[in-house]
Amino acid sequence: MVGGYIECMSNVRLQFGFFDPKQEYSVTHGVLPHWEQPGATYFITYRTHDSIPQAAFELWKRQRADALRRLEIDPDDPNWTSAFGRLDWGVRRQFARQFATILEASLDELHGACALRYPNVSNVVAENLLHFDGMRYSPGGFVVMPNHVHVLVCLDRNVTLKEQCRNWKHYQSCQINSLLGNKGRLWQPESFDHLVRDGDHFQRFRKYIQNNPVKSRLKESEFRLYLPNLQNAHFVTD
């Protein structure tokens, strides 16, 4: 891989399932809520540890706290996530999307060391994301930006979101730190993720991935973009 655009070499038939709120799903809480459903498709964002300035992150936390109070939830209560989990699903989803969007906008300002800007570093991420294509997951696209990664992916029913993100970040961190002669944390521990609801939602995330390098005015050597041909893809709608 020497350019920004990665050619799709796989002949694997891709399959994508969409979130069904009528079926069983789980919710865990960290900085943001995380919804998970077996066999679903996710839009995942993970970022380098220095990608959002501390002042911007503290402002975001204050804004989130104010929004929780408007929902009659005390953000200072250690068990606030339990109260949040009792809210209507649509309210929770909108809340998560709103506050993830704020952080994602800050990412596009490209703060921090931006080590992923260099081709030998971004190749580590891209090659790792493609390693289990068609086995553990089906990627609908991804982009490796200078300080963050967006992945649109359908996970196998036996693969959990937390497990797969942990595997990606652990391998990539070890390889990149070795490559750069660094030690310590590369990625922020928590990722942002959205369950994909339907085909239109899926295509909007594909377009977001495609436009991300353009929005940040990157040179072709400063990103890695992968958008597979979906002509033979199968979309599970029920």
Distance CA 174, CA 37 (A): 29
pLDDT of residue 47: 95
Task: Tell me whether residue 214 is in a domain.
Answer: yes
pLDDT of residue 61: 87
Task: Tell me whether residue 81 is in a domain.
Answer: no
Q: What is the mean pLDDT of residues 30-54?
A: 87
Which of 170, 19, 30, 169 shows the shortest CA–CA distance to 100?
30
Which of 106, 76, 83, 93 shows the shortest CA–CA distance to 33?
93
Query: Is residue 34 left, alpha or beta, with left meaning phi > 0 and alpha meaning psi from -120 to 50?
Result: beta
H-state helical runs in 17-160: 54-70, 80-85, 89-107, 119-131
Which of 208, 214, 179 shows the shortest CA–CA distance to 192?
208
Instruction: Report the predicted TM-score, pTM, of the whole model to 2 decimal places.
Output: 0.86
H-state helical runs in the chain: 54-70, 80-85, 89-107, 119-131, 161-180, 199-215
Task: Tell me whether residue 192 is in a domain.
Answer: yes
Task: Tell me whether residue 22 is in a domain.
Answer: yes
> CB of 205 within 8 A of CB of 18?
no
Task: Tell me whether residue 212 is in a domain.
Answer: yes
Report the number of distinct structural domains present in the chain: 1
Q: What is the mean pLDDT of residues 132-142?
A: 92
Task: Tell me whether residue 133 is in a domain.
Answer: yes
pLDDT of residue 7: 61
* Higher-pLDDT residue of 49, 21: 49
Task: Tell me whether residue 130 is in a domain.
Answer: yes
pLDDT digits (tens, 9 = 90+) for 59-109: 988 998 999 999 999 989 888 878 887 888 788 878 888 887 888 888 889
Report the run of H or E that residue 195 belongs to, with start and end: strand 192-195
Domain span at residue 178 reads 5-51+114-236
> CB of 16 within 8 A of CB of 134?
no
Q: What is the mean pLDDT of residues 1-22?
A: 67
* 2 has pLDDT over 50: no
pLDDT of residue 97: 81
Judged by DSSP in three states, 120 sits in helix
pLDDT of residue 151: 97
pLDDT of residue 30: 65
The pLDDT mean for the chain works out to 87
Specify the DSSP class assigned to residue 4.
S
As beta bridge partners, residue 48 has: 187
Task: Tell me whether residue 94 is in a domain.
Answer: no
CATH code assigned at 227: 3.30.70.1290
Q: What token pair was written down for 226?
A: 């992968």
pLDDT digits (tens, 9 = 90+) for 177-227: 999 999 889 999 888 888 898 999 999 999 999 999 999 999 999 999 999
